[in-house]
Amino acid sequence: MDLLTPELGLFFWTLLAFLAVFFILKKFAWQPILSSLGEREKGIADSIATAERVKNEMSQLKNENEKLLMQAREERTNMLKEAKETRDKIVNEAKDIAKAEANKIITDAQQQIQQQKMAALTEVKNEIGNLAVEVAGRILRKQLNASEGQDAYMKMLAEDIKLN
């Protein structure tokens, strides 16, 4: 049991050594240790504040990016809508121009056909008239060759003159 209970002398010298080390540490070590702990605490607090600030800035940037993305999407939608309207307008104008040109070509072709038809009819009438005159001339020559035919023709002419 002697080992478990310390003697008074050992207790005194141990206490004296402890107090000497304690005062030496307090005088030379506590201040640097406490200042380094304070600096470390301050650094950690600054780091936490900086991280919080960066987090807020990132959140703001994210919101701004989302707004810009929405604006870009709206602009793209508007541009596509305008492009489609412009395309439709150009296509409709081209269709109208094509229809007008086609109608003009058809009208011109119908007029040319009508003119050619009239020219052909006039030519046919002239040919028929020439043929009729030629046939009548041949018939008259044949009838006028005989003296009886000449007398009958003169009587017919005289009657026609009286009727007029």
Has residue 1 been placed in a domain?
no
The pLDDT assigned to 2 comes to: 62
The pLDDT assigned to 137 comes to: 76
Has residue 78 been placed in a domain?
yes
Would you write out the chain's pLDDT as a tens digit for each of its 164 residues? 566 677 888 889 999 999 999 999 888 888 888 889 999 999 999 999 999 999 999 999 999 999 999 999 999 999 999 999 999 999 999 999 999 999 999 999 999 999 999 999 999 988 888 888 888 777 777 666 666 766 777 777 777 777 65
The pLDDT assigned to 116 comes to: 94
Q: Are 91 and 99 in contact (CB under 8 A)?
A: no
SS3 6: coil
Query: Minimal CA–CA distance to 91: which of 80, 83, 101, 81?
Result: 83
Cα–Cα distance between 134 and 127 in angstroms, integer? 10
Cα–Cα distance between 120 and 64 in angstroms, integer? 82
Has residue 93 been placed in a domain?
yes
- Where do the H-state alpha helices sit in the chain? 8-25, 31-145, 147-163
The pLDDT assigned to 43 comes to: 94
Has residue 35 been placed in a domain?
yes
The count of structural domains within the chain is 1
Domain with 115 in it: 8-163
The pLDDT assigned to 26 comes to: 86
Within 10 Å of residue 152's Cβ, how many Cβ atoms?
13
Has residue 149 been placed in a domain?
yes
The pLDDT assigned to 81 comes to: 96
Has residue 145 been placed in a domain?
yes
Has residue 2 been placed in a domain?
no
Has residue 3 been placed in a domain?
no
Cα–Cα distance between 32 and 139 in angstroms, integer? 154
